[in-house]
Structure 1
Amino acid sequence: MSLYITSLNSGSNGNCYYIGNDEEGIFVDAGISCRETEKRMKRLGLSMDKVKAIFVSHEHSDHISGIPVLAKKYRLPVYITEGTLRHGRMDLARELVIPFAAYEAVRIGGISVTAFPKFHDASDPHSFIVASSTVRVGVFTDIGKACAHVINHFQHCHAAFLETNYDEEMLMNGRYPASLKNRIKGGHGHLSNAQALELFKLYRPSFMSHLLLAHLSKDNNNPQLVKDLFDQHTSNTSIVVASRFEETAVYHIQSSGEMLGEIKRPVEPVAPAFVLSKPKRRPNDQQLSLF
């Protein structure tokens, strides 16, 4: 069964990715408003009625700000870890909150969603593999480095959203204070163009048809720069830069029809989670994205 994918928005001003089949779909994160989400879905010819769940990668506001209204209006279950829920402090109906655990697949109709831990400065951050019986799509954004878990899953994907947050030279010569520059490139921040390209060159499977470059920094990257960089190494993979201002087209991801085998969990563990202070009890306050 094939899958359809699109980025509704990607960047520090809001992130929302849609993956679905002919019957149902899911959002990974929802960091733009409900109204804007609806407008972009309608422009793409995608029905909100097909959206059956929201999966939350971490608690930064550019990934969760649209969730409370979307979940309430459409009665969408929100799959989220306890740590992310606690630090995100969203106003969600208890019956809509469903916890998930790494490497335990969640079935949404004909779609399977499997989370795995990642490096990022959040309480309990996860990346996702969204799969049908014959297609795998990875969502690999907001990662400080390509650990064994990312590498292991990337090389089994027919398509992927891959973070290319910053150009190293632009970051180092830019206006950010040294402390923020160090956080961005320090292993629990974001993936650079060069790091993402290395992952792509070394571990891209021959059957990967689409790569959506995601979460570009407004100040430390340039869409044409990163597209030109990847276009030199594309082979048969279509490279798309996901915009921070508008939705991408909908891409139809297919395979030759073979059933997917199980991906073995890598032996190498992810490093201890980034330590966050206990959230203060301010119900309307949310942790802001730093990047």
Structure 2
Amino acid sequence: MPLFISSLNSGSNGNCYYIANDEDAVLVDVGISCREVEKRMGRLGLSMSKVRAIFISHEHSDHIRGLRVLAKKHQLLIYITPKTFVYSRLALESHLIRSFKPFDTIKIGDLEIYAFPKSHDAIDPHSFLVSGDGVNIGVFTDIGEVCEQVISNFQRCHAVFLETNYDDQLLDQGNYPYYLKHRIRGGKGHLSNKKALDLFISHRPSYLSHVFLSHLSANNNCPIIAQDLFKEHADTVDVILAPRDKETSVYRIETHELESTTDAESIALSPNRVQQL
């Protein structure tokens, strides 16, 4: 059974990622408004009725801005760590809240969502690996450093939303104050194009089919620079930019039953091909 994925928005202005099988869907983070989530899913032919739960990576506003309204309107379960919930300062409906701990695996229908800690300047930040029928999708953004957990889970991915936040030269030459530049490139900040590329080159599995360049800075990166850098080393991997102001297409990610798990096929779906999902 394939998984279907899309970035609804990716950047410091808001993050939201959609992952689904034929029956159930989850969102990772809701940093854009309820209205925008509904609008963008509608343009893709995706139904909110399939969404069962929202997984929150950390409490920064670009990851939770639309959470309260979306969860309340559609009565969606919210998976969030206790510390992140406290620091989010959101008035969420208590019957919708579900807690998780590091290294928990949560089942949503036939989907499994594995949570692991990441290095970021939040109270209790996590990344997620969403799996279904042997297909693994990583959501690895807001990462200050590439730790062993990131590497080991990246090596399992058939597709991944991977942070490429800044270009070193553009950050150096930009007008951000020193403390902010230090925060961004520090061990609990964000991942540069180069560090993300090093991870991609050194640890990508043979069956990785798509990498979505995610959470690009509007001031310290250039989409063309990031995409060209990855395409130079991509071979058969499709390199897709996850925009800061709109959704990507929906992509179908699957492994073939008659092939080994090291072979994967994925295609982009136009909205009219997703209507029946």
Alignment TM-score, normalising by the size of structure 2:
0.92
Tell me: higher relative CO, structure 1 or 2? Use CA pairs within 8 A at least 6 residues apart: 1
Q: In the aligned structure 1, how far is the partner of 2:258 from the partner of 2:213?
A: 27
Q: In the aligned structure 2, how far is the partner of 1:117 from the partner of 1:67?
A: 21
Partner of 1:63: 63
Check conservation: 1:15, 1:30, Cα contact below 8 A: yes
Q: In the aligned structure 1, how far is the partner of 2:257 from the partner of 2:94?
A: 40
Alignment partner of 1:202 is 2:227: no
Q: In the aligned structure 2, how far is the partner of 1:46 from the partner of 1:91?
A: 28
Tell me the CA shift for residue 10 of structure 1.
0.2
Check conservation: 1:162, 1:213, Cα contact below 8 A: yes
Amino acid at match of 2:161: F
| Counterparts of residues 35-50 of structure 1 (less than 5 Å) | 35-50=35-50
Q: In the aligned structure 2, how far is the partner of 1:61 from the partner of 1:94?
A: 20
Q: What SS is found at the alignment partner of 1:221?
A: coil
Amino acid at match of 2:247: E
Partner of 1:235: 235
Partner of 1:130: 130
Partner of 1:187: 187
Q: What SS is found at the alignment partner of 1:7?
A: strand
Alignment TM-score, normalising by the size of structure 1:
0.88
Partner of 1:80: 80
**Cα distance, 1:39–1:84 mapped onto 2, change above 3 Å:** same
Q: What SS is found at the alignment partner of 1:253?
A: strand
Q: In the aligned structure 2, how far is the partner of 1:119 from the partner of 1:157?
A: 20
Q: In the aligned structure 2, how far is the partner of 1:23 from the partner of 1:172?
A: 46
**Cα distance, 1:11–1:258 mapped onto 2, change above 3 Å:** farther
Alignment partner of 1:8 is 2:30: no
Tell me the CA shift for residue 260 of structure 1.
11
Check conservation: 1:134, 1:257, Cα contact below 8 A: no
Tell me the CA shift for residue 259 of structure 1.
11
Which runs of 4 or more aligned residues in structure 1 lie more than 6 Å from their structure 2 counterparts after TM superposition?
Answer: 258-261
Structure 1, unaligned runs of 5 or more: 262-291
Identity of aligned residues (%): 56
Q: In the aligned structure 1, how far is the partner of 2:258 from the partner of 2:76?
A: 32
Q: In the aligned structure 1, how far is the partner of 2:75 from the partner of 2:257?
A: 34
Q: In the aligned structure 2, how far is the partner of 1:133 from the partner of 1:7?
A: 21
Tell me the CA shift for residue 82 of structure 1.
0.7
**Cα distance, 1:210–1:191 mapped onto 2, change above 3 Å:** same
Partner of 2:221: 221
Alignment partner of 1:157 is 2:157: yes
Tell me the CA shift for residue 258 of structure 1.
7.9
Check conservation: 1:11, 1:243, Cα contact below 8 A: yes
**Cα distance, 1:247–1:198 mapped onto 2, change above 3 Å:** same
Tell me the CA shift for residue 118 of structure 1.
0.2
Amino acid at match of 2:240: V
Which deviations, in whole Å up to 9, do the C-alpha atoms of 1:191-226 show, x marking residues without a partner?
Answer: 000000000000011101110000000000011110
Q: What SS is found at the alignment partner of 2:119?
A: coil
Q: In the aligned structure 2, how far is the partner of 1:238 from the partner of 1:204?
A: 13
Q: In the aligned structure 2, how far is the partner of 1:62 from the partner of 1:6?
A: 17
Partner of 1:244: 244
Q: In the aligned structure 1, how far is the partner of 2:219 from the partner of 2:88?
A: 26
Tell me the CA shift for residue 256 of structure 1.
2.5
Check conservation: 1:170, 1:220, Cα contact below 8 A: yes
Q: In the aligned structure 1, how far is the partner of 2:2 from the partner of 2:212?
A: 17
Q: In the aligned structure 1, how far is the partner of 2:179 from the partner of 2:120?
A: 16
Partner of 2:267: none
Amino acid at match of 2:203: Y
Q: In the aligned structure 2, how far is the partner of 1:86 from the partner of 1:213?
A: 30
Partner of 2:115: 115
Q: In the aligned structure 2, how far is the partner of 1:93 from the partner of 1:104?
A: 23
Tell me the CA shift for residue 104 of structure 1.
1.6
Which deviations, in whole Å up to 9, do the C-alpha atoms of 1:39-95 show, x marking residues without a partner?
Answer: 000000100000000000000000001000000000001000011001111110111
Q: In the aligned structure 2, how far is the partner of 1:100 from the partner of 1:3?
A: 23
Partner of 2:27: 27
Structure 2, unaligned runs of 5 or more: 262-277
Across the aligned residues of Structure 1 and Structure 2, the Cα RMSD in angstroms comes to: 1.3
**Cα distance, 1:143–1:260 mapped onto 2, change above 3 Å:** farther
Alignment partner of 1:100 is 2:87: no
Q: In the aligned structure 2, how far is the partner of 1:215 from the partner of 1:47?
A: 25
